[in-house]
């Protein structure tokens, strides 16, 4: 059996340090061999992830940046239970959507302070997204 490239020596073995028998009746090998056979995901490996970065899923900077409706749906398929939504672009949204817009505008205003170079460039993704969301 090939060695698992993601297994860090000592860390996985520590979990099995105080057992006398190998789990699932696998008593024909050593504890070291059993631990090496275990499937270990790399640190930071997510179950879902982002959809491909293409024209269908993401708007260009000139088109206002952000995800399209198709991109949001692709993300939600990959990540069940997600509550991701598209931008609030209507001029007179309902109270919940207006609150979402206000929250986004407040967060992105903080980004403008953190990234003054992007704040000065009218064609940056940050400025384009704020324009799309109709932030003042």
Domain ranges of the chain: 1-45, 47-86, 89-136
pLDDT of residue 28: 62
- Greater pLDDT, 5 or 116: 116
pLDDT at 103 over 70: yes
Cβ neighbourhood burial of 91 (10 Å; 0-12, 13-18, 19+): exposed
Tens digit of each residue's pLDDT (9 = 90 or more) over 25-76: 555 666 666 666 666 555 555 567 889 999 999 999 888 888 999 999 999 9
pLDDT of residue 62: 87
State how far Cα 73 lies from the chain centre.
14
pLDDT of residue 5: 57
pLDDT at 90 over 60: yes
pTM: 0.61
Calculate what percentage of the chain has a pLDDT beyond 70: 65
Name the packing angle between helices 125-132 and 95-114 (round to 10°).
160
Q: In angstroms, rounded to a whole number, what is the distance separating the alpha carbons of residues 101 and 98?
A: 5
pLDDT of residue 136: 85
């Amino acid at each position: 059996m090939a060695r698992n490239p993601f297994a860090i020596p000592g860390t996985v073995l520590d979990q099995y340090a105080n057992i006398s028998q190998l789990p699932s009746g696998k008593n024909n090998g050593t504890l070291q061999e059993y631990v090496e056979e275990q499937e270990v995901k790399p640190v930071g490996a997510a179950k879902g992830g982002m959809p491909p970065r293409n024209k269908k899923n993401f708007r260009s900077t000139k088109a206002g940046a952000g995800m399209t409706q198709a991109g949001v749906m692709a993300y939600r398929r990959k990540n069940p239970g997600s509550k991701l939504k598209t931008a609030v672009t209507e001029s007179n949204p309902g109270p919940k959507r207006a609150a979402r817009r206000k929250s986004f505008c407040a967060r992105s205003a903080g980004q403008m302070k953190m990234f003054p170079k992007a704040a000065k460039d009218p064609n940056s993704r940050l400025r384009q997204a704020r324009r799309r969301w109709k932030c003042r």
